Amino acid sequence: MGLIGHQLFKRLETFDIFYHISVLFGPIFLGAAALLSTSPPLKAVYISTSTYLASLIFATLVYRVSPFHPLAIYPGPFGCRLTKFWMAAVSFTGQQHNYIKSLHDRYGDVVRIGPNEVSIKDPSVVHAMLGPAGLPHGPMYYGKLLVRTPKDMPMLGMTNITEHLRRRRPWARAFSGASLKEYKPMVASRALQLVQVLQSQKGEVDIGKWVNYHSYDFMCDMAFGGGSELLRDGDVHNFWHTLEKGLPPSTFVSHVPWLGPYLARIPVITADMQKVLAHCQRLTTGRIERGAQRRDLFHYLNNEDEPETQPPSLQQVVNEGVVAVVAGSDTVSITLTSIFFCLATHPEAYRLLEEEIDRFYPPGQDPCDTEHHRDMHYLTAVINETLRVYPTASSGVQRCVPHDSNGFTLGSIFLPPGTSAWYHQLSVYHDPRYFFPKTDDFWPERWLLASGRLSFADTDTDEATFVHNEGAFVPFSYGPMNCVGKNLAMLEMRIVVCAVLQKFRLHTRDGWDPRTYDKGLKDFFVTMRPPVPVTLVPRS
């Protein structure tokens, strides 16, 4: 019976609780019923349960590490091949990005990181894996977001491509070129407020904390027309701490997503998530009560721009709003923090960017005017290089081969049905085959050399050995399921960097070891960062 149960679980991996109960307990009751003629009821249940579970676990584990498993040809640690709880335990420490990179360094470009999961370090798979005919999202979000049922899943985690694209339409309208123009005043207002708050600080400040507050306030403005004032009031409700406290357990469960529907029903497990949802529920309610004062994300998600279209449920809008506010603010804030860290620890890059900002935004000029952004090539290089050295999603985004398919081929890599795969950005971006020289260093000039805006004769770089594989660089993912907010994120980062560097010169604390930043970064699919203590010197 255990062998039959193993085949049922293997061939139809589902998040339906009734199915789990049927396959898990059905054979036990059948076995116990068959034993009742020769054994007392309790003994029959004990024998049936122990026999079934032992054979089920034994068959599952032996098959996973056997040469008969379809992923047996791909190398990886024994623990990873045996169970996803191995990677779940690693992820709880926040070091899965470094762990998987070490596996690629040891085993090669394709590493088995789970019984039915691989990580890939090969840029040639980007178009096939992530492009229009690529793979849908994997099941990790059932655990990551503690989703009870598929109907509760926000657009970000949709595993059905058709449904994902349907739900993406209002997002596409919200982030169109015309919509971005409407968000610019909000971006500028919050950037100037950030500068004012920094001017009021005395002594050493953690620049990352204030960048976090800025990004969250702006995303609440953009998504719900307001509702957050962390820059003004500080984190009086402990929201940011609650959010970060919930990242390790949710990342753990994302590796064993079948646990998600069960844990989502346990209040003590979902307490932090429920606080975040309740906060976004209040933002949504406040937005409804205030009405449409301007075209924000809610305006589009609620189909207010298409009154003839049936609006979605309030809960769906709340779920989508949570994704927008949390994912949008966190990814931008960690990149901005990394930008300021890189500049403060690389004086020459800082000097060149400061000169570019002074050229386009001299004293008295509005640093939030976006007119010059297209001509600020060094600023773009700084942002791109930061995203290369410190990608916001180091492990990428999980994709999965549908169970009802015949498998999927990525060049020389064949993925059987039901296989999950990752394009591991951190490993690719730090591979000298794709970026050389100074592979592990912050060096914005590589982007100017690659674009022809900087001559090799003006550097000490040998053109013959220079490698810059821009096709490998997908910080906002790629294809129809890429980051819909990419253009807004770039706009926000450009404005904030220009506004801050026009007013201040950043200095790190004497004796502070910059290596603590790299050591303190933690990957929970979004990145948690350590403090970056700086002194802000006003510029005359």
The CA-atom distances, in angstroms, between 444 and each of 106, 167, 243, 346, 382 are 29, 37, 32, 11, 5
Where do we find the tokens 């204030």? 210
CB 386 within 8 A of CB 532: no
Annotated binding site: 483
The CA-atom distances, in angstroms, between 389 and each of 395, 418, 425, 440, 441 are 13, 32, 10, 7, 7
Query: Residue 328 and residue 493: Cα distance in Å, rounded?
Result: 12
Q: Which two tokens stand for residue 448?
A: 């100017």
Query: Residue 171 and residue 426: Cα distance in Å, rounded?
Result: 28
Q: Where are the alpha helices (DSSP H) in 291-444?
A: 297-301, 314-344, 347-360, 377-389, 425-429
Omega before 132 cis (within 30°)?
Answer: no
Helix axes 2-11, 41-65, angle to 10 degrees: 50
Annotated binding site for heme: 483
Cβ partners under 8 Å of residue 166, min gap 6: none
Backbone dihedral angles phi then psi of residue 533, each to the nearest 5 degrees? -75, 120
Which region, left, alpha or beta, applies to residue 452 given φ > 0 means left and ψ of -120 to 50 means alpha? left
| Bridge partner list, 74 | none
Q: Where are the alpha helices (DSSP H) in 12-144?
A: 17-35, 41-65, 78-82, 85-92, 96-107, 126-130, 140-144
Query: Residue 397 and residue 389: Cα distance in Å, rounded?
Result: 18
Helix axes 347-360, 486-503, angle to 10 degrees: 90
Q: Which of 48, 51, 43 is nearest to 31 (CA)?
A: 48
Where do we find the tokens 């040809």? 73
